[in-house]
Structure 1
Amino acid sequence: MTSNAYSTYSANHLAIENNEKMIEMLYEGILRFCSRAKKAIEKDDVEQKCINIRKASVIFVELLNYIDFSQGDVSYYLQGLYSHQISTLSKCMIDADTAKLDEVMKVASGLLEAWREVNNLNLNN
């Protein structure tokens, strides 16, 4: 069992080339799960709403773990932003408010766009 778990971890680790790609994938995951949660709310599917909101929240928690506080003020800004998104998702879990999901998706989309832009600049320099 341990060998299988390690093999799976190793395969996943090799598939994700670097931290930059990992962060991009996490932002994309937030967008995907929030979109699914929104559709579930519209269909009155409470179970899928909860599952997908929970997945998006877990991704924000993971992003909190990636913050490098040696980078200064932007690190603290991201910490507050991610924490706020987790709070918003928690409220959405209770209220089933698609507008709250739209807010989170807008933030995640902006973060994804900025992340891609920064990494493209770094690749070109």
Structure 2
Amino acid sequence: MYGSNAHNTYAQNNVGIESPAKLIEMLYEGVLRFNAQAKKAIKDKDVEKKVYWTNRSIAIIVELLTVLDRSEGSVGAYLDGLYNYQIQLLTTASSQSDSDKLDEVSNVFKGLLEAWRETT
């Protein structure tokens, strides 16, 4: 009960601060920032930071999945699959310290960010 009330209060207090389109842009940018931090942690052989930053990226993608409008037909279904695949890549990148997988995810999100900016 408390969690729901806290969320509602938070949502009411933050209505109008940013447009939904700007929030999606910020989430995409967040994935890129966190992936860069995770890549640095892999290079530095800092396991704790690698896991932390990778988990932050995954949390953003989970949020994107949560707000995804699947009623939009093929675009919603495509993004659902794409986001889930990016989570798989990030999980592998973290468990195997694989910078190439992080780069793959970052490239996808760079493309999504560019496309998003063009449509808004």
Q: TM-score with structure 1 length normalisation?
A: 0.85
CA distance in structure 2 between the aligned counterparts of 1:12 and 1:31, rounded to whole angstroms: 27
Matched with 2:104 is 103
Identity %: 50
Change (3 A) 1:32 1:12: farther
Matched with 2:58 is 57
Count of residues in correspondence between the two structures: 115
Change (3 A) 1:53 1:97: same
CA distance in structure 1 between the aligned counterparts of 2:26 and 2:46, rounded to whole angstroms: 26
SS of the aligned residue for 1:21 comes to helix
Matched with 1:46 is 47
Deviations 1:28-59 (A, max 9, x none): 00000000000000000100000000000010
Matched with 2:115 is 114
CA distance in structure 2 between the aligned counterparts of 1:57 and 1:50, rounded to whole angstroms: 10
In structure 1, list runs of 5 or more residues that go unmatched.
Answer: 120-125
CA distance in structure 2 between the aligned counterparts of 1:26 and 1:38, rounded to whole angstroms: 18
Which amino acid counterpart does residue 48 of structure 2 have in structure 1?
E
Deviations 1:73-113 (A, max 9, x none): 01000000000000000001110000000000000110000
Change (3 A) 1:68 1:89: same
Deviation at 1:17, TM superposition (A): 1.8
- The aligned runs of 1:77-96 (5 Å cut-off) are 77-96=78-97
Which amino acid counterpart does residue 74 of structure 2 have in structure 1?
D
CA distance in structure 1 between the aligned counterparts of 2:12 and 2:41, rounded to whole angstroms: 32
CA distance in structure 2 between the aligned counterparts of 1:104 and 1:58, rounded to whole angstroms: 14
SS of the aligned residue for 2:34 comes to helix
Cα RMSD (Å): 1.8
CA contact (8 A) 1:16 1:22 kept: no
In structure 2, list runs of 5 or more residues that go unmatched.
Answer: none
The runs of 4+ residues in structure 1 deviating greater than 4 Å are none
SS of the aligned residue for 2:18 comes to coil
Matched with 1:122 is none
